Structure formats: structure tokens, C-alpha cells
Amino acid sequence: MRVIFMGTPDFALAPLAEIFGRGHEIVAVYTRAPKPAGRRGLELTPSPVHAAAERYGLTIRTPKNFRDPETLAELRTLNADVAVVVAYGLILPKDVLDAPKYGCLNLHASLLPRWRGAAPIQRAIIEGDSETGIMVMRMEEGLDTGPIAMSEKLKVPPDMTAGEAHDRLTLLGADLIGRALAALAALERGALTFEPQPEQGVVYAKKIDKAEARVDFAQDSRKLHDLVRGLSPFPGAFFELDFGKGRERVKILRTALAQGKGAPGEILDETPRIACGAGALALLDVQRAGRGPVSGAEFLRGARLAPGASLSEASHAAL
């Protein structure tokens, strides 16, 4: 099939590789334009999909949007059978959605209609969902409202992080889109059918706000545990301490539920277990700004924090 691929981040790499490996003709790859990088912002860094498409020798296009008639006309000249969209990051107007022969298929990382929107993987983990998944959806103008053709479910253990779910779902999605395109190629035999989404159970996965990542130890330990794993590894839940040179963010990358009581934020032992509004959390992996991840116990030793100290305090005298 003649396929247009639209994607930008790491999540889209496995689906792109699957489509390429199955021998489909990828007539163009659309991705976000390279971004300034480096301390002075003088270097332009291509997206992960951009870099992969270059390795495959594919045609790459990076429009800012599709409002320009020339951009739309250029897309139409590709005479694509279908467009596959995976975390592209640009809004596609109706003219783009209708341009390929069979429209645009989107790989969406949730069990729609739950978690429509920008951050479905993270929101599912933060809310403690025991199950999530990935779906092939035919795109329409509404936000993730299109009919569903195929899906795969993923069990979410109570300690799985968003990063781990991300890695599992991208592989499931790659296999799913491969099977969907094979079915689409046999469309005349009715091999690919679409079902409307249920009207009940719609939940929106809004973009993660930086303020949400700040840990408030006065909250229930279960809620904080889900927040930490939902934001791990990026952007990372955090608390702040002053280590003698101003306030510094400390990311919490992994936790475990623990027993214990104390004032919220109090270090209960050298594990370290941290008291919460209800229950306690063991800090398993943390990361100070500009440093690599370390165990919670190693962090405690390096920061010269002892049981009885508080992570909820605004400052700390340790060096």
C-alpha cells in the first residue's frame, strides 16, 4: 500500500519500523520540524521519527501546519492509500483527513473512549487504572472520537511506570498497525471493519501541567505512588530542598507502598520510608538536578539527611 506516515516522538518509531519492514511503500514521512538544542540553542535537533526516516531513505516533510494550500496540494499529489498517524503533534484539518483513499488511521494509546487527548498513558497510570491498551482508530475532526477497528489490551501491575507502559504499548501498537494495514489491503473482502465508540465512559487525558508534578506528602501514599509512576521517567514527580545553594528539585523515579506514621514528609528510617497523609512511601530511586539516578538510601547519605528530618521543609542545611 502507498502509506503516508505522520509521527514525531520515540513512541512512533516501532510502528514506522513495522510498516517499513512489511514492505509498504511509505511515500512520505511527516514529522515536527527540528528544534533548537544545546546551551545556546544554535543546533537544530530532528525528531526521533525524522532521524529514523533519514536512515530508511524516506522522503521527509516538516510543515508547521496544513493551512497553506500548497502544503495540502503537495500531500494530495502523493496519491496515498492511507495515512498512519502516531503521536504526530499537529491538528489535521478535514481536507487532510479526507486526502488518502482510505483516510487516516491513528494509533491511540488508551482504551477509548477512556483517555481521549494528549496524555493517555500517563493519565491511566496516575489514576491507578489496572488496564489500558492501544487502538487503531479512523480519524475524524473530533478529538479522538473516531470509530475503532482493532485494539490490544495491556494489564497494568500496581508498580508499572508510565515509561514501562509506553515501551510495551509501542510494540503492541506496531504489531496492531501492521495487521490493520494488511486487513485494509483486503478491504474489498471486508477484512477491516470499524465500530463507533461507546457514548458512555468518555474521559479526557489533558496535558500534564508542571504544577501537578510537585509532590505533596500530605496526600495519601497510594495517590502519591500512582503520581510518581505516572510521571516516571518524564517529567518526573518532584519535591524541593535547599542543599546550601538554593532550592533544588529532586525527582522521585520509583516508589513502593510502605507502612508507617509520622508528620507528612518525615523521614521514618534509612530505607528511606517517608510518612504521608495516610501511610508511607519507600523512595526506591531518586534523581537530583544534573545528576544520575541513585537509590533512595544513597540519596539520603549523600544529602546527609537522617530519620526525623522532613522532605516537606522548604530548606535544608546539608551540602
- 2-205 placed in CATH 3.30.1860.10: no
At 188 the pLDDT is 56
235 preceded by a cis bond (ω within 30 of 0):
yes
Ranges of H-type helices in the chain: 13-21, 48-56, 69-76, 94-97, 120-126, 162-185, 221-230, 296-303
Please state the separation of Cα 119 from the chain's center in Å. Answer: 6
**Predicted confidence pLDDT, tens digits, the chain (319 residues):** 999 999 999 999 999 999 999 999 999 999 999 988 766 656 889 999 999 999 999 999 999 999 999 999 999 999 999 999 999 999 999 999 999 999 999 999 999 999 999 999 999 999 999 999 999 999 999 999 999 999 999 999 999 999 999 999 999 999 999 999 999 988 655 678 999 999 999 999 999 998 999 999 999 999 999 999 999 999 999 999 888 788 899 999 999 999 999 999 999 999 999 999 999 999 999 999 889 999 999 999 998 899 999 998 643 444 3
Look up residue 219 and give its amino acid.
Q
Letter string b/e over residues 24-61, b meaning 16 or more CB atoms within 10 A of that residue's CB: bebbbbbbbeeeeeeeeeeeeebbbbbebbeeeebebb
At 189 the pLDDT is 55
Which class is domain 210-303?
alpha beta
First to last CA, the chain: 61
Please state the separation of Cα 313 from the chain's center in Å. Answer: 31
Q: What share of the chain is helix, strand, coil (3-state, %, to 5)?
A: 30, 30, 45
Contact 295, 284 (CB under 8 A): yes
Look up residue 122 and give its amino acid.
Q
CATH 3.10.25.10 residue ranges of the chain are 210-303
At 90 the pLDDT is 94
State how far the Cα of 54 lies from the Cα of 76, in Å rounded to an integer. Answer: 22
CATH 3.40.50.170 residue ranges of the chain are 2-205
The candidate with the shortest Cα–Cα distance to 226, out of 297, 299, 123, is 123
